[in-house]
Chain A
Amino acid sequence: MFITVTQSLMEGFGVSVQIFGLTLLFALPLGLVISFGSMSRFKVIKIPVKVFVWIIRGTPLMLQLIAIFYGPGIIGKWAQQIEARNFLTDFLSSWAVIDRFTAVIIAFIINYACYFSEIYRGGIESISRGQYEAGQVLGMTKPQIFFRIILLQVVKRIVPPMSNEIITLVKDTSLARTIAVYELIWNAQEFIKSKGLLWPLFYTAAFYLLFCGILTLLFNFIEKKLDYFKG
């Protein structure tokens, strides 16, 4: 039995790791774009971005998952029922329910990118003006200043808050079961329903702990690597 349970949980864990990996892959760079938006000099960019970040950070991820999964279908249906049809309602009515896993990935990427963007913003704004000016008087371009001078200093400062957020992401993957994506917890709960076994649910903790343990070691390693300079 133990082996059957472990196999099933491994399968669920695989899905959880996929959600985790894909979310990081896209949310890390997207967060940087959003952080640039929220620091923009132009109000037409800055204000909408800030409102968007407020909405995403101000509502539960679970709700966002449901909205992304069911939202397009609901809008599509509603557009079909409207009497006066035009290109917009035609376009909307072509919307259908999207694939469950895709919906999870989209929701997670948007949600985490917003959290990351605020961490990036804090890190970028904490770098002193003098670092930019030193680059400027040496004739460097803006991208050179950002990538060759600022970025690594920002990375060093944001490793602790980012590691926090990324470890939270490991456990947030369990929210995917809200729209019936068969991740780790879902598979464990199946054993309660089908066999009346409770222990597989608690057994999942071992998987999360192992994964978070590895991540903690990784972040310690990165912090050590960046210890060679101060600032």
Chain B
Amino acid sequence: MALLEVRGLCKSFGHTEVLRGIDLDLDCGEVMAILGSSGSGKTTLLRCLNFLEVADRGTISVGGEMLFDGSLPAERNLKEVRKKRLHFGLVFQSFNLFPQYNCLDNVTLALNLQKKQSPDEINDIGMKLLDRVGLADKVGSYPWQLSGGQQQRVAIARALALSPDVLCFDEPTSALDPELTGEVLKVIRGLKGKDNTMVVVTHEMEFARNVADKIVFMSDGVVEETGTPEEVFGNPKSPKTAAFLSKVIER
């Protein structure tokens, strides 16, 4: 059974239907790249998974546990919502690091608030995560002292700290200067393994082709095509996918 199962997810803002029945399956340890032009609903999909938006219809389940069911009344209990949210992690396009905390504190703040481990253990976790994203020498630096690429790597470490079942990336390199995207993509690639299941919304075609196990192409709020990178890049079935790919690869 797939780790992440999304069925018939719909979301409208006013009269605009942004998601019109999304189905996704993702196995443990897999990386899914979501492609599509802007306005196709990619970001809204990630936001629904992370409960930053509440979908109107459809279901989301992780590891067989139903986290969201649009046919039931909305979850009013904030504590329950927070618990469900922790199955997912999200790395934002604009990093959203906390400016008043140094790198280590950014990574460990949530763990410190949960108080499930001792402060020493939490510090240890934080140091290991920063080391993993190649920033062991920046633990005491504040976000403004870092480059965009470094800030995004701290944000990745922060999202990993709570060890979410599914880690989502919302165009993690779109806010970066071109020469800085490489270091972030390298870190994401380095996370690939049986422990990390990831959903990456991206415009980096090379990255999607080389790193993802599964490509999802979205258009107008539906999954237009899904398959392995070879299938989607090599031989797109949908004319919309083909048109999109030829446009972005030309560039």
A residues apposed to B, CB below 8 Å = 128, 130-131, 133-134, 136-142, 144, 148-149, 152-153, 156, 228-231
Contact = CB atoms under 8 A, between A and B. Distances in A.
A140 B143 contact: no
Contacts of A153: 99-100
A141 B82 contact: yes
A148 B109 CA distance: 9
B52 A149 contact: no
Interface residues of B, number: 28
Contacts of B89: 137
A139 B85 contact: yes
Given A130-B94, A228-B142, A136 B85 contact: yes
Interface of B: 50-52, 78, 82-83, 85-86, 88-90, 92, 94, 96-100, 109-110, 113-114, 142-144, 158-159, 162
B158 A231 contact: no
Nearest to A155: B100
Contacts of B83: 139
Contacts, number: 66
Given A137-B85, A137-B90, A231-B144, A149 B98 contact: yes
Nearest to A230: B144
Among A131, A140, A229, the most chain B Cβ lie within 10 Å of the Cβ of: A229
Contacts of A142: 78
Given A148-B113, A230-B144, A139 B96 contact: no
Nearest to A130: B96
Contacts of A136: 50-52, 85
A136 B114 CA distance: 13
Contacts of B109: 138, 148
Contacts of A134: 92, 96-98
B85 A231 contact: no
A231 B92 contact: no
A230 B99 contact: yes
Given A130-B94, A133-B52, A139 B99 contact: no
Given A137-B50, A139-B86, A141-B82, A229 B100 contact: yes
